[in-house]
């Protein structure tokens, strides 16, 4: 039987501090039996982060193609698990206003993290252009030096892997000053409008996206000591710093794309990366 104090103890073992900003991905079933269920997990997190901020993904995973048609910030459920959905309904919890990759938050930085999700400059990409923009919660958690805690799920389900992909692709595009070359590069990038669905395939009819293996990333980061784990009941908690994860993947895309991405994406990266790092790669 997992109790509140067990969860707090595990967070401490992961090196989580009471004033941290932490996003939790979770599986209630992974714990075994929790005394009090999802509410107990949430209460333990909020009591532990008594000077910080708890964040949960409130993702649209079911019927994704209709996400932009029937979005309701107050009614659209989170498809990221029972704990996430229970947290969304909790009094005082704030939600960012974005159709596919919103987050919910409670604590010191909750208002800052959730406000203006789709305002400001956007980033284009394969699951929409307004989810991972420069004013998104994902960017703000990166800037704040936040942490990710996976409760019973691996980094395969870490949403920050998509933020890392978006950041890299858009940084490459931003580095290209020639309008014709930039258009050529941008036309190859997979967009939600191209396919109206989220499907992780190698290549989309000549379109590219740096999909990568989150499990592989977890194994490498664990060996480097950048990813730590601890047991809580039957569940394994895994924690990584947002910035360290994203910066690691960014550099992997840049220098070793062939180890992570499809052949088409690797060709795209090698063709256009000299514009991003001209001192390191000779322009063709």
pLDDT tens per residue across span 110-147? 999 999 999 989 999 988 899 999 999 999 999 999 99
Going by the DSSP 8-state scheme, the letter that residue 29 receives in this structure is: G
Q: Are 50 and 82 in contact (CB under 8 A)?
A: no
Mean pLDDT calculated for residue range 138-163: 97
Provide the pLDDT for residue 193. 65
Decide if pLDDT at 284 tops 70: no
DSSP type of residue 283: -
Percent of the chain with pLDDT over 90: 87
- The rounded mean pLDDT for the chain is 93
pLDDT of residue 199: 46
> In which residue are the tokens 């991405």 written?
261
Largest alpha-carbon pair distance within the chain?
A: 62
Per-residue pLDDT at 53? 98
Q: Is residue 207 within 8 Å of 188, Cβ to Cβ?
A: yes
List, for residues 188-216, the tens digit of each pLDDT value. Answer: 998 876 554 544 445 556 789 999 999 99
> Which range has the worst mean pLDDT, 124-128, 164-168, 177-181, 252-256?
124-128
Predicted local distance difference test score (pLDDT) of residue 203: 54
Sheet with strand 235-241: strands edge to edge:
94-95, 101-107, 53-59, 21-26, 147-151, 235-241, 227-232
Q: Find out whether 50 and 44 touch, Cβ atoms under 8 Å.
A: no
Q: What is the per-residue pLDDT across 4-61, written as a single tens digit (0 to 9) for each? A: 999 999 999 999 999 999 999 999 999 999 999 999 999 999 999 999 999 999 999 8
> Rounded to whole angstroms, what are the CA distances from 31 to 51, 148, 196, 232, 238?
26, 18, 35, 7, 13
C-alpha 249/C-alpha 73 separation (Å) is 31
The pLDDT tens digits of the residues spanning 51-95 come to: 999 999 999 988 877 888 889 999 999 999 999 999 999 999 999
Burial class (CB in 10 A: 0-12, 13-18, 19+), 134: middle
For residue 133, give the 3-state DSSP assignment.
coil
Give the global pTM: 0.94
CA pair distance 260, 263, nearest whole angstrom: 10
* CB distance 113 to 140 below 8 Å: yes
CB 154 within 8 A of CB 218: yes
- Residue linked to tokens 């909750």: 110
Q: Is 257 exposed, middle or buried (0-12, 13-18, 19+ CB in 10 A)?
A: buried
pLDDT of residue 40: 97
8 Å CB contact between 44 and 132: no
Over its C-alpha atoms, the chain yields an Rg (Å, rounded) of 19
pLDDT of residue 205: 63
């Amino acid at each position: 039987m997992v109790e509140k104090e067990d969860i707090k103890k595990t967070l401490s073992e992961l090196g989580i501090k009471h004033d941290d900003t932490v996003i939790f991905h979770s599986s209630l079933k992974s714990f075994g039996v929790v005394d009090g269920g999802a509410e107990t997990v949430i209460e333990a997190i909020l009591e532990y982060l008594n000077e910080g901020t708890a964040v949960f993904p409130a993702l649209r995973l079911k019927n994704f193609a209709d996400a932009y048609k029937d979005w309701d910030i107050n009614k659209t459920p989170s498809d990221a698990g029972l704990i996430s959905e229970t947290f969304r309904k909790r009094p005082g919890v704030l939600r960012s206003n974005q159709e596919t990759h919103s987050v919910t938050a409670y604590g010191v930085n909750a208002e800052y993290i959730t406000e203006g999700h789709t305002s400001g400059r956007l980033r284009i990409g394969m699951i929409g252009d307004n989810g991972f923009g420069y004013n998104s919660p994902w960017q703000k958690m990166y800037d704040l030096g936040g942490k990710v805690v996976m409760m019973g799920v691996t980094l395969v389900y870490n949403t920050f892997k998509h933020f890392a992909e978006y950041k890299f692709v858009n940084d490459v595009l931003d580095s290209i000053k020639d309008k014709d070359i930039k258009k050529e590069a941008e036309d190859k990038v997979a967009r939600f409008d191209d396919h109206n669905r989220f499907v992780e395939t190698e290549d989309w009819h000549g379109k590219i996206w740096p999909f990568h293996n989150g499990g592989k990333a977890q194994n490498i980061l664990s060996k480097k000591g950048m990813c730590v784990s601890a047991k809580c009941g039957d569940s394994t908690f895994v924690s990584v710093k947002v910035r360290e994860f994203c910066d690691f993947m960014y550099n992997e895309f840049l220098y070793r794309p062939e180890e992570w991405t499809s052949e088409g994406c690797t060709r795209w990266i090698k063709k256009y990366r000299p514009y991003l790092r001209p001192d390191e790669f000779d322009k063709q």
